[in-house]
Structure 1
Amino acid sequence: MPRSLLIISRQAPWSGPNPREALDIVLAGGAFDLPIGLLFLDDGVFQLAAKQDAKAVQQKDLSANLQALPMFGVEELFVCADSAAERGLDPTRFSLEEAQVLAAEQITALIDRYDQVITL
């Protein structure tokens, strides 16, 4: 049985290469039927904010990659409610409607469900 993997994406989409690398890992894992999950935590919740203008900050738009996650079989998507609230974001307006909103105390249990965890 393949080991499960949780990717925790903690950086804003315009902060550097880590958000894109996290998505690439998740998409690759999904393509190979690896049990994989993706958690948006801290500034990573900004990746889910709708109507971002990536060109304004000279970055690539991640929204197409985010929308492709379910097509690659990645259905374990999570967002930290506390991180969203601290940044003034409403999780009901996120671009990924499939993402489960978790309270901070639920995240520890989530992490324990996976065999391996990578934080980017």
Structure 2
Amino acid sequence: MAKSLLIVSRQAPWAGPAARETLDIALAGGAFDLPIGLLFLDDGVFQLVAGQQPQRIEQKDLGANLQALPLFGIESLYAARHSLAERGLTEEALSLPVQVLDDTGLAALLDQYDQVITL
């Protein structure tokens, strides 16, 4: 049986390659039917904001990668409540349905997965 993997994305979408690489890892794992969860933490929650315009800073849109997650079997998506609140974001501002977790929920989530990767 495949080990479950939680990928923690902590980088803003345009702060460098980490956000795109995180999504690429998740999609690759999903293509091989690995049980994967994706947690958006700290500035990583900015990846979920709807209506971004990356072309204005000559970047590629991560939105297509995010929308492809369910197609690759990655439906366990989470966001940290405190990360959203610290950045003035609400669930309504997000482009994907995610389960928003408080600190207790985050601790329980980490215990659910066999392996955790943070990028």
User: TM-score per shorter chain, which class?
Assistant: over 0.9
Separation of aligned partners in 1, 2:84 and 2:39: 12
Unmatched 5+ residue regions in structure 2?
none
Structure-1 residue corresponding to 2:88: 88
Task: Give deviations 1:32-82, integer Å, cap 9, x for gaps.
Answer: 110100000000000001111111222211000000000111111101111
SS at match of 2:37: strand
Structure-1 residue corresponding to 2:103: 104
- What percent of counterpart residues are identical? 66
Structure-2 residue corresponding to 1:57: 57
* 1:4 partnered with 2:4: yes
Separation of aligned partners in 1, 2:19 and 2:95: 15
SS at match of 1:69: helix
Aligned amino acid, residue 22 of structure 2 = A
- The TM-score with structure 1 as length reference comes to 0.96
Alignment of 1:18-57 (within 5 A): 18-57=18-57
Aligned amino acid, residue 41 of structure 1 = L
Query: Stretches of 4+ moved more than 4 A in 1?
Result: none
CA RMSD of aligned residues (A): 0.8
